Chains A and B, each alone.
Chain A
């Protein structure tokens, strides 16, 4: 299974970014191979349409799961139609390493 998380930094001790479209980094984690990839978000400074542009970027990775602190209504509908499962974590103090550990349940 491939999961994408939003991160505030580019290392495993970074915290989860509570925004989806304007997060600092996307983290692509593959539960089978255990590989972790950090992708800087090119859309974080966009005034409009950051969410949709980020969905395009994320969808190109074919994830099964997206984990973030918040999803806007526009992209939520888009992700629903792409059949990607969403997970909302309200506790933004969580670290990426912690979420990866949870995913390896």
Chain B
């Protein structure tokens, strides 16, 4: 694709945003943030090391992780991220294109941004009764971080102690009252 064509697409995109406000995007759920902030090319050409980075969004990273690393199909992966299957496929296609650009042109990849929220699985310790989460999915949960008890049960997503309330709507106080 020539640079002129890309520029035209970019301008037309910008214009359409100015004329009609786009629908707000649903935030995509990211369970496991990437272990690194990005990647740098190496090799004899020093220009490549300071090349303009390709920004891979968190949702695109998550799409690749779910689909190619965890081996889920698009349907299951879209449920995992809380979005529709077509949206997932679109994100995934965008992610592959960005990776291809980075590989072929020898560009840096920086991972960040996007319309996401981070989420982790919560557990309830059967020893001390506390709730805890587990930020690094690659490591297995072996014991309660507080009391070291070896028995705990996962909490369903909608029962996690934090997910009951939305930010900034004043529900939290009401929630506290009903809890008491």
Partner-B contacts on A (CB < 8 A) = 65, 67, 70-74, 76-81, 83-91, 99, 102-103, 105
Contacts and interface: CB of A to CB of B under 8 A. Distances in A.
Given A80-B119, A85-B134, A90 B166 contact: no
Given A73-B166, A80-B120, A105-B147, A88 B135 contact: no
Contact of A87 (B33, B131, B149, B172): B131
B55 interface: no
B162 A88 contact: yes
Given A74-B167, A83-B135, A89 B130 contact: yes
Interface residues of B, number: 26
A41 B167 CA distance: 22
Given A85-B145, A87-B145, A105-B148, A71 B162 contact: yes
A44 to B, nearest CB: 17
17 contacts: A71-B162, A73-B162, A73-B166, A73-B167, A77-B119, A79-B135, A80-B120, A81-B33, A81-B118, A83-B33, A84-B135, A85-B133, A86-B132, A89-B146, A90-B129, A105-B148, A105-B149
B82 interface: no
The prevalent SS among residues of B at the interface is loop
A71 B118 CA distance: 14
Contact of B130 (A70, A72, A87): A87
A102 B146 contact: yes
Nearest to A18: B176
Contacts of A81: 33, 118
B161 interface: yes
B166 A103 contact: no
B118 A77 contact: yes
A80 B167 contact: no
A87 B146 contact: yes
Contacts of A72: 162, 165, 167, 172
Nearest to B163: A73
Contacts of A99: 146
Contacts of A77: 117-119
B128 interface: yes
B135 A85 contact: yes
A79 B132 CA distance: 13
Contacts of A76: 162
